[in-house]
Amino acid sequence: MLLTIRKQLKSHPALIPLFFFIGGGAAMSLMYLARLGLRNPDVSWDRKNNPEPWNKLSPNHQYKFFTVNMDYSKLKKDRPDF
């Protein structure tokens, strides 16, 4: 299969940017999915030792990828302890 793709790219060099951007988009989407699965507090990989990981987050812990006009260091605790 790779030999066929290589042959097509040699005969049609205009396809090289298409393969480049499609491959880059696929790699970035896989990295984002891995980040969501590993860093998001809604995902619990170890239910036995940490059944509710969202309760152990401090109020100034930033878990969102991008926020506009939000300074997490100035947030105060406004929820009860469980």
What does the pLDDT read at residue 18?
93
Q: Are 72 and 60 in contact (CB under 8 A)?
A: yes
* pLDDT higher than threshold 90 for residue 30: yes
Residues 6 and 21 reside in one and the same domain? yes
Full domain range(s) for residue 3? 1-39
Would you say 59 and 75 are in contact if contact means Cβ atoms under 8 Å apart? yes
Average pLDDT over all residues of the chain: 81
Tell me how many domains the chain contains.
2
Same domain, 35 and 1: yes
pLDDT at 38: 83
Q: Which residue has the higher pLDDT, 37 or 23?
A: 23
Does 35 share its domain with 67?
no
